[in-house]
Structure 1
Amino acid sequence: IGDKDRMVFELLFEPCGVTENQFKGLVACGALEWIDLGPNISFVGEGKDQSADFLYWLYSGDVEVCYEGMSISIIQRCSGRSIDDPQSVGVFGDMQFLYALDKRNKEKRNVKYKRSEAKDASIDKTEENDHIYGDYPAATVTTVSKTSSLLKIDCVKLFQLMDDDESLASSVRDLLIKGLQRKVAYLLGVIADTNRKEYLSTDRSRYEDTASGF
């Protein structure tokens, strides 16, 4: 594998338990592709634009994360970041991927039930709970001012490999869980920083109002 592939293996895949042979399989089947995107290009969408076709990992450049039209944060990278780094945000498109993964698992369970011709209440319960597989909240991710380099992961090909390799499937789930943990920690930090700035701004305004009264 090339230097760039080696780098992403060590930063993103290996810490989650993906072996080098499994990673080479991802490369060989074309599941991984490096892309460069210019400024102001949305590559992950929310609402009707949601798609579970691809996952993305930011290697370099800057992207803006928005939810329901509101900017949440701008993330900048120079040379990638390890999934184990507390400042990592994992991959983009993970919520859509998890939705698709849930749906696939449900379909597999239904096929298994049909093959066994089970007609008990558990089937009815599964069918009645379709709403739990509704759309997950997802952000829009857009490149900002620079050309951004990203790893693009083909989810269809990834699913095919996961179907045949439970070890790989488990490692991918670990990768997603780690990424979500990093996102939550990152967003909590953003919220805390915003609240701190608002508090200081309000406190300063009160001081100025008090001072002007003398």
Structure 2
Amino acid sequence: MLTAEPVGRVLDYRAPEGGCAEGAFVVVPLGPRLVMGVVWGPGEGGFDLARLRAVNRVLDVAPMRAELRSFLLRAADYTLTPPPAMLRLATRSPGLGEAPGPRRVYRLAGTEPARMTEARARVLDALQSFGGAALTLSELAAAAEVTTSVVKGLVKIGAVLEEEAPRDLPYPRLDPSLPGKELSGDQAVGAERLRAAVRAAAMAQRC
């Protein structure tokens, strides 16, 4: 277990019931306090297991990926920084141990108001222009160039839906097999020049 506290090394703890995976964010006892840490790998052992203190709880957040843990260790070596200090930099986020709160978002309801005004039409047009994606109140008001009261009025008459959605959704993994975007003529020429330069550099390295 690596914590962000200045102890200078990883610590062994007894896994909670049900276990915990590498990279999991956990709360562990350290002296008289409870601190946050990350499961860095299997315990080292070599001492009386009865003396091990147990993990207090596993946080309900996405685990730290192996790539980030590896990067933090390499950065620590390169900058001569203790690993706990690097972990503190990577986890200095208020409310990290708290469950992500919901936010209110707005989307088209599929019905038009009985009385259409220019401001209301701009709100509906803005939602349509985003392809049905949900927007927050401030985002929608800014996109439609109206006050928030116009949006709330459309919610009251059922023309716009108000829903709760998770505040922080994980980003999807990049898929290099997906087709690229169609390029314009000038963009295609520039892309081919870049590819040619990369091929030439690779050939020069092999020579």
The TM-score by the shorter chain falls in which range?
A: under 0.3
- TM-score normalized by structure 1? 0.23
Query: When you count strand as a share of all residues, which structure comes out higher?
Result: 1
Q: Which has the higher contact order (CA 8 A, sep 6+)?
A: 1
- TM-score normalized by structure 2? 0.24
Query: When you count helix as a share of all residues, which structure comes out higher?
Result: 1
Question: Which structure is larger by alpha-carbon Rg, 1 or 2?
Answer: 2
